[in-house]
Structure 1
Amino acid sequence: MAGNGNAETVDAVVIGRNEGARLAACLQSLAGQVRRVIYVDSGSTDGSVALAEAAGAEVVRLDTLRPFTAARARNAGLDALATDPPRFVQFVDGDCAVDPGWIAAALAHMAAHPQAGVVCGRRRERFPGASVYNRLADAEWDTPVGPAAACGGDALMRHAAVAAAGGYRPDLIAGEEPELCLRLRRAGWQIWRIGAEMTLHDAAMTRFGQWWWRTKRAGHAFAEGAALHGAGPERHWVAETRRALLWGLALPTAAGVGALVLHPAALLLLLAWPLQVVRLARRWGGGRRGWERAAFTVLGKLPEALGVLGYWTGRLRGRQRGLIEYK
């Protein structure tokens, strides 16, 4: 890849698995913005490796002896940069294209904020009109501008800060970015979300089952994050885990058991779900998107609760959960 012409050195780490045309768009979007591109492949069978090599990226293939995780892939990218480390590293998921002005905007913010260890911007869904699930993902990424607790998979980071933190926790199957950001904040670094356009993401979610598995993965991440850092002052993902268990497990269980043991009227407890939908929809401004977001937020507590239970079941059995993929 060509040099970016910036005074600060920026390299990119792209991770992917069978992204095909999405990967091609991702690599093309980085041309001219960064010095090097490291592409880390997690067992693709669609020609992604050859595609990345043809685009000029340096390819790292993960071996199959250990389970694939996004965190492990990103760490492999960091390892590939170790011999000639940049000052900054742009992490990108292979299904995302980087905005032409993003690197310059992120570097400018880094320069103005020396304690910024991570800067992220607005990730947008490329095809929000394709499905309600894509629209939900787009809304999920529309987080407030300013100091933040965490970033997502796409972000510009100070290489030295990430290296000193030991990189990502490789065994996490989800939630690895917030976990890293938590450790960075404890080390004195700041996480920022700025108003600049950052990436276009292609979720390609067109089926309910895809949304269900993606939401179940979030529940798993909540439970594991809370188990790792919930006792700390940040109470990392404790509230999210409790909400999933309250709305997705305790409420339907109480209604069902109450109806069987006490009186069928116990099923009226389930009215809490539609009431919560109404409350959230009003908070989020109503309209089509407000009602969609509210309805799926409440419904999502069911797969989230299953994800929480799955984490703890696996932990008690001494088994590590494999990847929960939705594509």
Structure 2
Amino acid sequence: MVPTPPTTPVRPADQPVKRPETVDAVVIGRNEGARLLACLASLRGRVRRVVYVDSGSRDRSVISAREAGAIVVPLDMTKPFTAARARNAGIFALADDPPDFVQLIDGDCTLDPDWLPTALDAFARTPRAVVVCGRRRERHPEASIYNTLTDHEWNTPVGKTRACGGDALIRYAPLLNVGGFRDDLIAGEEPELCLRLQRTGAEIWRIDAEMTLHDAALTQFGQWWRRMVRSGHAFAEGAALHGGAAEHHWVAETNRAIIWGAAIPVLIVVATLVHPIAAVTVLIYPLQVARLARRARFSRLGWLLGLFTVIGRFAEARGALGYYIDRFSGRKRGLIEYK
């Protein structure tokens, strides 16, 4: 008589049971209100634990996070605030029962319901991957040109890459092994972390999958300008830290900002003082706008990207030169906020 096959597979006694991979989440925020509630709701049932690190909120953020079941870590605000320090506080709060992976997410974002299974599958297919990120989108790109520009900025190439943004799924042990984020950086902490991870042989991957919805709420030129100043500061500080190494971290970005945003304008002014006809050289800027717009086949978005990229170089130069001035004067720049 042929035996009936068992309904469940028989496991040899010496074969270990594979433990399901655990994923925890670290959320950072301050006065996010309804956006924080939406963020926490998007994580519910998808991760094992949620740690919310609050940076001195004056609204109901802390109470709401506790009511939503999150572990709340109030950040010590007697020390200078950085997003890197907040993320580290959340990461280290998980060390008592370390997960396999930690999902980092800002409190003004919501997680796509299909993101974690998709990202974990990407990790399974790329054993050397330590960071996997996907498409971060602006929730309301149509609300302003500045939101549109930000949404375009998030659309980075798919494949192995050099850096991630503030939202990413990361293997916890390698993250802890490199000491987490460098918490004195006021901007650019994610690319700096990725650089140190890659030096250990790790890989950073951007996959073609929806990851998060972000609410930049950039409605004014001044907000966008300060954001670009912040980028310039990050470029210069990153180059000062790692620019001399083989990766030349953010050296090209810093040089580009200073050349287009400071050096060329000074040269135009000096040349014009010598001979007024030299003022025609200012046309290099509209020509650069046209060159950048050409990449998008002179579409409306292409012209806007070209125009604001060129304008942004002046803000980036201000941020980079501000970093160097502060460095040589011995001052430490505070957080550059744009919201």
Fold match (TM-score > 0.5): yes
Q: Please report how far the alpha carbon of residue 286 of structure 1 lies from its aligned counterpart in structure 2 after TM superposition.
A: 2.3
Match of 1:239 in 2: 252
Residue 20 (1) aligns with residue 33 (2)? yes
Match of 1:281 in 2: 293
After superposing the two structures, state which structure 1 stretch, 214-223 or 250-259, moved more.
250-259
> Identity, % of aligned pairs?
65
- Letter of the 1:281 partner, please give it: A
**Equivalent of 2:146, from 128, 133, 152?**
133
Structural mapping, 1:1-327, within 5 Å: 7-260=20-273, 262-327=274-339
**CA distance in 2 between partners of 1:185 and 1:116 (Å):** 10
**CA distance in 2 between partners of 1:268 and 1:20 (Å):** 51
Q: Please report how far the alpha carbon of residue 256 of structure 1 lies from its aligned counterpart in structure 2 after TM superposition.
A: 1.4
- Listed one character per residue, the Cα deviations across residues 51-70 of structure 1 (whole Å, up to 9, x for unaligned) are 11111111101112211100
- Letter of the 1:168 partner, please give it: F
Q: Which runs of 5+ in 1 are unaligned?
A: 1-5
- Letter of the 2:288 partner, please give it: Q
**CA distance in 2 between partners of 1:285 and 1:174 (Å):** 33
Q: Secondary structure at the match of 1:168?
A: coil
- Letter of the 1:325 partner, please give it: E
- Letter of the 1:276 partner, please give it: Q
- Letter of the 1:110 partner, please give it: F
- Letter of the 2:310 partner, please give it: V
**CA distance in 1 between partners of 2:281 and 2:99 (Å):** 56
**CA distance in 1 between partners of 2:184 and 2:288 (Å):** 35
- Listed one character per residue, the Cα deviations across residues 267-314 of structure 1 (whole Å, up to 9, x for unaligned) are 222111100000010012321211111110011000000000111111
Select the structure of larger CA radius of gyration.
2
Q: Secondary structure at the match of 2:59?
A: coil
Runs of 4+ in 1 over 2 A off after TM superposition: none
**CA distance in 1 between partners of 2:117 and 2:211 (Å):** 11
Q: Is residue 125–residue 134 contact of structure 1 (8 Å, CA) maintained in 2?
A: yes
- Listed one character per residue, the Cα deviations across residues 31-54 of structure 1 (whole Å, up to 9, x for unaligned) are 111000000011111221111111
Give the structure-2-normalised TM-score.
0.93
**CA distance in 2 between partners of 1:46 and 1:288 (Å):** 40
Give the structure-1-normalised TM-score.
0.97
- Listed one character per residue, the Cα deviations across residues 152-178 of structure 1 (whole Å, up to 9, x for unaligned) are 000000000100111000000000000
Match of 2:7 in 1: none
**CA distance in 1 between partners of 2:282 and 2:257 (Å):** 15
Q: Please report how far the alpha carbon of residue 266 of structure 1 lies from its aligned counterpart in structure 2 after TM superposition.
A: 2.2
